[in-house]
Amino acid sequence: MEFFFATMIDLVISREWLATTNVVLACLLGIWIFRNRRLYRRSRAEQANQRDLIENLSEGIYRSSPAGRQLSANKALVKLNGYETEAELLAAAKNIGKEWYVEPRRRDQFRAILARDGFVKDFVSEIYRHKTRERIWITESARLVRDGNGRTLFYEGSVREITETVNRLKAEELLRKLSSQVPGGLVQLERNAKGTYELSYASAGFRTIFGLEPHESFSSPSRFLRMIEKADRRDFARALRASRDALEPFDMEFRAIAADGTNKWLRASAKPERVRGGVMWHGYVNDISVRKRNEMEIQKLAFFDPLTGLPNRRMFMDRMARAVGRCHDRAGCGALIFIDLDNFKTLNDTRGHDVGDEYLVQVARRLQACVREGDTVARIGGDEFVVILDIAGHDYAHTYRAAIMTANKVLAAMRGAFEIGQFNHASSASLGVVVFNGRDCQPEDVLKQADIAMYQAKAAGRNGMAVYDHLSMSPESDRYRLLNEFKAALGTDALELHYQPQMDDSGHVIGAEALCRWQHPEFGTLLPERFVPLTEQFGLIREFGNFVLATGVAQLARWQRDATTAGLRLAINVNAQALSSDDFVSNLSALLEAHGVKPGLLTLELTESIMTRDRRHIGNRMHALKALGVRLSLDDFGSGYSSLAHLKRLPFDELKIDGSFVADIESGESDRALVKSILGTARTLRLTAVAEHVENARQEAFLRAFGCDFFQGYHYSPALPEDAFAAFVQNRRQPAALTAAPRLRQSA
DSSP secondary structure of 161-193: E-HHHHHHHHHHHHHHHHHHHSSEEEEEEEE-T
Q: Which residue did the predictor score with more confidence, 113 or 642? A: 113
pLDDT at site 639? 57
CB atoms within 10 A of CB 521: 8
Is 664 domain-assigned?
A: yes
Q: CATH no. for residue 61?
A: 3.30.450.20
The terminus-to-terminus CA distance of the chain in angstroms comes to 206
Contacts of residue 710, Cβ cutoff 8 Å, sequence gap at least 6:
502, 503, 504, 505, 510, 688, 689, 690, 691, 742
Tell me the HSE value of 339 on the side-chain side, using a 13 A CA sphere: 30
Please give the average per-residue pLDDT across 647-658, as a whole number: 85
pLDDT at site 737? 35
**Shared-domain flag, residues 183 and 157:** no
The sign of the torsion formed by the CA atoms of 155, 161, 167, 169 equals: negative
- Of the candidates 311, 316, 313, 336, the one whose C-alpha atom is nearest the C-alpha of residue 392 is 336
Q: CATH no. for residue 630?
A: 3.20.20.450
CB 431 within 8 A of CB 457: yes
Overall number of domains in the chain: 5
Q: Which residue did the predictor score with more confidence, 581 or 560? A: 560
pLDDT at site 744? 37
CB 475 within 8 A of CB 449: no
Is 548 domain-assigned?
A: yes
pLDDT at site 667? 78
CA dihedral 206, 209, 215, 220 (to 10 degrees): -70
> Which of 108, 129, 161 finishes a domain?
161
Please give the average per-residue pLDDT across 380-407, as a whole number: 88
Please give the average per-residue pLDDT across 431-456, as a whole number: 87
In the chain, the amino acid numbered 306 is P
Q: Which residue did the predictor score with more confidence, 296 or 189? A: 189
**Shared-domain flag, residues 672 and 585:** yes
**Shared-domain flag, residues 33 and 72:** no
Q: Which residue did the predictor score with more confidence, 718 or 733? A: 718
pLDDT at site 617? 78
Is 312 domain-assigned?
A: no
Please give the average per-residue pLDDT across 199-214, as a whole number: 78
The answer to whether residue 55 scores a pLDDT higher than 50 is yes
In the chain, the amino acid numbered 748 is A
Beta-ladder partners of 379: 385
Q: How far is CA 486 from CA 536, 544, 648, in A?
A: 13, 10, 39
Encode pLDDT of 322-376 as tens digits: 999 888 888 888 999 999 998 888 788 778 888 999 999 999 999 999 999 889 9
The answer to whether residue 625 scores a pLDDT higher than 80 is yes
Encode pLDDT of 140-175 as tens digits: 999 999 988 888 899 999 999 988 888 887 776 766
The three-state DSSP-derived secondary structure of 135-162 is EEEEEEEEEEEECCCCCEEEEEEEEEEC
pLDDT at site 637? 79
For 417-445, give the DSSP string. Answer: PEEETTEEE---EEEEEEEE-SSS--HHH
**Lowest mean pLDDT across 180-189, 226-235, 567-576:** 180-189
**Shared-domain flag, residues 599 and 623:** yes
Please give the average per-residue pLDDT across 293-313, as a whole number: 85
Contacts of residue 544, Cβ cutoff 8 Å, sequence gap at least 6:
490, 516, 532, 535
Q: CATH no. for residue 436?
A: 3.30.70.270
β-strand pairing of 602-607 with 631-637? parallel
Which range of 194-208, 452-466, 696-710 scores highest in mean pLDDT? It is: 696-710
In the chain, the amino acid numbered 462 is R
Domain enclosing residue 208, as ranges: 167-293
Q: CA–CA separation, 190 vs 558, rounded Å? A: 80
Is 438 domain-assigned?
A: yes
**Shared-domain flag, residues 511 and 640:** yes
The answer to whether residue 426 scores a pLDDT higher than 90 is no
Residue 281: strand, helix, or coil: strand
What φ, ψ does residue 551 adopt, rounded to 5°?
Answer: -65, -40
Please give the average per-residue pLDDT across 435-445, as a whole number: 83
pLDDT at site 432? 94
What percentage of the chain carries pLDDT values higher than 70?
86
Q: Order of strands across the sheet with 263-275?
A: 197-202, 184-191, 278-287, 263-275, 250-257
pLDDT at site 307? 92
Give residue 601's pLDDT band: very low, low, confident or very high (50, 70, 90): very high
**Shared-domain flag, residues 595 and 453:** no
Q: CA–CA separation, 515 vs 471, rounded Å? A: 36
The mean of the pLDDT values for the chain is: 84
Is 744 domain-assigned?
A: no
- Of the candidates 258, 253, 251, the one whose C-alpha atom is nearest the C-alpha of residue 288 is 253
The answer to whether residue 56 scores a pLDDT higher than 90 is no
pLDDT at site 748? 29
pLDDT at site 735? 45
> Alpha carbon 184 to chain centroid distance?
24
pLDDT at site 295? 81
Q: CA–CA separation, 556 vs 565, rounded Å? A: 9
Q: CA–CA separation, 84 vs 367, rounded Å? A: 94
**Shared-domain flag, residues 511 and 641:** yes
Is 315 domain-assigned?
A: no
CB atoms within 10 A of CB 197: 18
**Lowest mean pLDDT across 62-66, 324-328, 509-513, 514-518:** 324-328
pLDDT at site 46? 61
The answer to whether residue 576 scores a pLDDT higher than 80 is no
Is 319 domain-assigned?
A: no
Q: How far is CA 277 from CA 192, 248, 274, 736, in A?
A: 7, 17, 7, 106
> Which of 102, 128, 161 finishes a domain?
161
Q: How far is CA 225 from CA 197, 256, 264, in A?
A: 11, 9, 14
**Shared-domain flag, residues 14 and 63:** no
**Shared-domain flag, residues 343 and 463:** yes
**Shared-domain flag, residues 109 and 255:** no
Is 679 domain-assigned?
A: yes
Q: Which residue did the predictor score with more confidence, 294 or 356? A: 356
> Which of 249, 271, 293 finishes a domain?
293
**Shared-domain flag, residues 142 and 202:** no
pLDDT at site 558? 95
The answer to whether residue 611 scores a pLDDT higher than 70 is no
Encode pLDDT of 72-84 as tens digits: 999 999 999 999 9
Give residue 439's pLDDT band: very low, low, confident or very high (50, 70, 90): confident
**Shared-domain flag, residues 563 and 503:** yes
Give residue 3's pLDDT band: very low, low, confident or very high (50, 70, 90): low
Q: CA–CA separation, 297 vs 294, rounded Å? A: 5
The answer to whether residue 567 scores a pLDDT higher than 70 is yes
Q: CA–CA separation, 609 vs 117, rounded Å? A: 122
Residue 223: strand, helix, or coil: helix
Please give the average per-residue pLDDT across 399-428, as a whole number: 90
